[in-house]
Amino acid sequence: MSEERLERLEGLMEQLIGMVGSVLSEQRSMKDELSSMKEDISLINERLERIERQNTAFQESTAYLLDKTAEHDHDIHVLKHRLLKI
């Protein structure tokens, strides 16, 4: 093999090694980002579960208040009806 060809192959090998190093570095970076994203998703899921529990409690409170309002409206209607009869 000629000296020129060996130098060209050496240059290509250096370039290839550099490219592999870049790919590995980027892969490590992507793994770190993925790990961070998984942690974020876990926190979001915890928050979502808390919100769902609160929503259920709010719905129950709202239903109770609607029932009480209907009960009070009925009482007011009965009292008005009685007062107007007298």
Could you tell me the pTM of the whole model? Answer: 0.58
pLDDT exceeds cutoff 70 at 86: no
Residue 2 phi/psi, 5-degree rounding, is -80, 155
Distance from C-alpha of 34 to C-alpha of 30, rounded to nearest angstrom: 6
Average of per-residue pLDDT values in the chain:
95
Distance from C-alpha of 80 to C-alpha of 24, rounded to nearest angstrom: 82
